[in-house]
Amino acid sequence: MRNLLSVAVFSLLLLSPVVQAEEPTTSHHAATEHGAAVTHTQGVLKAWNPHKVSIAHPAIESLGWPPMTMNFLQPQPPLAELPADTPIEFSFRQVDGGYQLITLSASQQ
């Protein structure tokens, strides 16, 4: 009887990590979707519309990007519009379909 109990306890200890690994965790998926890294940088606003903003930015070493002009998706509702050629500071994150702005403001420099 004692051996049977020892085998049962030992088996439970061995199987416990397997059961935990197979258990679905919706909170993990939510953290992945909403936990994308946020990048902060500066640039010059080139064009604006309710769906996307074109920005010329310097190299972003943390992402391995060279200097370029690219489109960033607008959040919904869109951010407050600024005129073209405004020096800006902005933050963005990667989302399905591209890179989405989080903040955008005229540069204080």
Query: pLDDT tens-digit profile of 22-32?
Result: 443 322 233 33
* pLDDT per position as a tens digit, 65-91: 999 999 999 999 999 999 999 999 999
Highest mean pLDDT among 5-9, 32-36, 59-63: 59-63
Domain boundaries of the chain, sorted by first residue = 2-32, 37-106
Give the fold, CATH level 3, of 37-106: OB fold (Dihydrolipoamide Acetyltransferase, E2P) (2.40.50)
Grade residue 36 by pLDDT with cuts at 50, 70 and 90: confident
Long-range contacts of 51-58 (CB under 8 A, 24+ apart): 51/78, 53/79, 53/101, 53/104, 55/88, 55/90
CA distance 84 to 39: 22
* Confidence bin at 33 (pLDDT 50/70/90): very low
Task: Please report which confidence band the pLDDT of residue 20 belongs to, taking 50, 70 and 90 as the band edges.
Answer: very low
- Phi, psi at 6, each rounded to 5°: -65, -40
